[in-house]
């Protein structure tokens, strides 16, 4: 699919998320995905803006000042190397996540995960809906399967948030429960997961390699209708607005 910057959260909005740690962490997740998206399409100058927003929010959360400075330096040194940009973006997420777990800040880690998951699903559904014939166009089938396959991930996210003080995010859980109801009509049959065959996006050199075979290795069958996708897109957009609006 072609690059669509219009669906990304403006990097300049980072200033709006410095109030509460929950808002900061959720939008850190959003920006990490947007950073990865820009890196995937070798939009390195745009990616640099998002990496600076990532640093601003991680600084607000008192996370890894030295490491995020190093990420910026490495990113600036590899602006023409797509694989390196993807690796840096991926490492950034896991470095932050590991730090939070080691320091018993699992609630912040959970919010970052939720923010990144919502942004990924928002981008996926928004890009698909750009084509009114997405439900019958075969090239969209792997993406629709991935959208449908998020049904189980959503259950895990809700369970994760329920482990923390619900008063801090009851509205978010309520919206995720609404999304869960929409997903009830999506049917999934799991394939045989082989760890050696799982997709590593950093190793993909061009879009032709994102074949149906590669994308569907962990899902044997997914039944998701056009109506399902549209309803998921609508609800995800609503949740995303909760997260990104000031």
Better-predicted residue by pLDDT, 78 or 245: 245
| Three-state secondary-structure class, residue 189 | strand
Span 169-176, mean pLDDT?
94
Q: What is the mean pLDDT of residues 140-145?
A: 89
**pLDDT for 106-134, tens place per residue?**
888 899 999 999 999 999 999 999 999 99
Is residue 212's pLDDT more than 80? no
Between 97 and 209, the more confident residue is 97
Task: For residues 27 and 17, give the distance between their C-alpha atoms in angstroms, rounded to a whole number.
Answer: 7
| Backbone torsions φ then ψ of 87, nearest 5 degrees | -65, -45
Q: Identify the pLDDT of residue 207.
A: 47
Encode pLDDT of 156-171 as tens digits. 899 989 988 878 889 9
Cα dihedral sign, 104-108-109-110:
positive
Cβ-contact 112, 26 below 8 angstroms: yes
pTM given for the model: 0.85
Banded model confidence at residue 88, pLDDT cuts 50, 70, 90: confident
Query: What pLDDT digit, counting tens, does each position of 185-198 carry?
Result: 999 887 665 545 55
Give the pLDDT score at 246: 82
Percentage of the chain with pLDDT > 90? Answer: 51
Burial class (CB in 10 A: 0-12, 13-18, 19+), 92: buried
How many whole angstroms separate alpha carbon 172 and alpha carbon 177?
9
Q: What is the mean pLDDT of residues 200-216?
A: 51
Q: Kindly state the tokens that stand for 148.
A: 């449908």
Q: Name the least confident of 10-14, 97-101, 118-122, 209-213.
A: 209-213
Give percent above pLDDT 70 in the chain.
87
């Amino acid at each position: 699919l072609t690059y669509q910057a219009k669906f990304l959260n403006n990097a300049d909005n980072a200033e709006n998320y410095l109030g509460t740690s929950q808002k900061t962490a959720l939008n850190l997740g959003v920006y990490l995905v947007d950073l990865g998206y820009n890196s995937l399409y070798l939009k390195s100058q745009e990616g640099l803006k998002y990496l600076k927003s990532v640093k601003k929010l991680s600084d607000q959360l008192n996370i890894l000042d030295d490491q995020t400075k190093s990420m910026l330096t490495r990113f600036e040194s590899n602006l023409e190397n797509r694989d390196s940009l993807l690796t840096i973006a991926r490492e950034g997420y896991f470095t932050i996540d590991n730090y939070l777990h080691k320091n018993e800040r699992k609630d912040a880690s959970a919010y970052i995960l939720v923010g990144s998951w919502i942004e990924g699903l928002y981008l996926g559904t928004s890009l698909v809906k750009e084509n009114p014939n997405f439900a019958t166009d075969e090239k969209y089938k792997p993406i629709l399967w991935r959208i449908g396959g998020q049904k189980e991930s959503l259950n895990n996210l809700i369970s994760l948030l329920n482990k923390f003080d619900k008063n801090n995010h009851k509205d978010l859980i309520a919206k995720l429960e609404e999304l869960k109801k929409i997903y009830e009509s999506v049917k999934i049959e799991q394939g045989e997961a082989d760890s050696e065959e799982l997709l590593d996006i950093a190793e993909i050199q061009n879009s032709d390699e994102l074949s149906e075979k590669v994308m569907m290795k962990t899902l044997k069958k997914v039944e998701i209708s056009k109506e399902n996708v549209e309803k998921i897109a609508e609800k995800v957009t609503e949740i995303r607005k909760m997260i990104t609006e000031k």
